[in-house]
Amino acid sequence: MPNSRIVSSSMEPEVKITSLYRDFLALIKIGIVNSNMITTFTGLFLAFQFTGQNFLHNVDLIVCGLGGSGLIIAGSAALNNLIDCDIDPIMSRTKSRPTVTGRFKAPAVLALALTFIVLGEGLLFSASVAAGIWGLAGIFSYVVLYSMWSKRRHVGNTIVGSLSGAIPPLIGWTAVEPSLGAGALALFLIMFIWQPPHFYALAMRRTEEYRAANIPMLPVVKGFARTKKSMLAWVLLLFPLPFLLSELGIWFLLLATALNVGWLYLAVKGFKAKEDLKWATAMFIYSLNYMTILFVAIIIFSIFI
């Protein structure tokens, strides 16, 4: 009798095995959680530096601010996956999400998301009432204003979604200092204005998928030429914002301006690009590097205030 454990690999269909842990990370959109934790920490750290408080003497605020932010972002992302489970199968980028494959059922996702949000808000309110309120504002703007209202109805959905993406630095700041200063405003505006050119680049690369899912992204409704003009305008709006953080010194201003000039140069090149999708990919990658370098620089330069 042949050994039943020996099976020819040429006859065995390749099966992609996805672990429960990986599915869980996809459910909470760990990439979004991580990137938002960077901006939350920047707001928190900058508030410590600007107010003269000792970072190491306030570990409780750090734990509550970062832990609470991470939980509400993860919970909101899970709710977004639940809301979009009918259109996610249409797009190759999202068709393997666990809410699509059935690995996580809707009741479990809802329970998990609400648990994370409640626990996260509890931590934020423990840090300060202002942090808790800004946390609620972030949840509402992402889940209700963006996911449930604007995403499928309005071409301005990306701008609406940018509100929620700009709130994490405010949560971090108000966990330390409830009153918002110029530094908090600068971080909010930088994140708000950074997001449209970042997501428009992604939308250009996925235009046909968004069209199939009937999502009115700017490249779908207005076309690539109009999208490029909008991206250029948003990049130009970034130029004055580093000067709201002039306390960080001349070297920070030079670095931030250099990053803006580089992005502007790339944006202008788009009008003569022969391969729009290749250019959009370059814009998308630059936007990721821009955000990472700028926020790390803010943290570093704030140490020397």
**CATH code, 99:** 1.10.600
> Does a structural domain hold residue 10?
no
Is residue 15, in this structure, part of any structural domain at all?
no
| Regions in the chain scoring below 50 on pLDDT | 1-17
pLDDT tens digit string along 43-75?
Answer: 999 999 999 988 888 999 999 999 999 999 999
Which 3 state secondary structure label does DSSP give 179?
coil
Report the C-alpha dihedral over residues 207, 210, 214, 218, rounded to 10 degrees: -60
CA 292 to chain centre: 12
pLDDT score at 167: 98
At 56 the pLDDT is 82
Q: What is the pLDDT of residue 10?
A: 38
Q: Read off the DSSP letter of residue 236.
A: H
Decide: residue 278, CB within 10 A, 0-12 exposed, 13-18 middle, 19+ buried: exposed
Q: Which residue has the tokens 């305008």?
A: 233
The whole-number pLDDT of residue 8 equals: 33
> Which residue segment(s) compose the domain that 163 sits in?
20-302
The count of structural domains within the chain is 1
Candidates 190, 31, 53; CA nearest to 127 is 53
d(CA 171, CA 132): 8
Contact 87, 15 (CB under 8 A): no
**Assigned domain for 287 exists:** yes
Q: Please give the pLDDT value at position 91.
A: 87
pLDDT of residue 18: 58
CA distance 25 to 209: 23
Residue 146 located in a structural domain: yes
Q: Is residue 13 part of a domain?
A: no
DSSP output for 119-154:
HHHHHHHHH-HHHHHHHHHHHIIIIIIIIIIITTT-
At 112, which amino acid appears? Answer: L
pLDDT at 14: 37
Asked if residue 210 belongs to a domain, the reply is yes
Distance in angstroms (rounded) separating the CA atoms of residues 2 and 202: 52
* Distance between CA atoms of residues 62 and 283, nearest Å: 33
**Residue 15's pLDDT is what?**
37
Domain assignment of residue 180, yes or no: yes
For residue 35, tell me if it sits in a domain.
Answer: yes
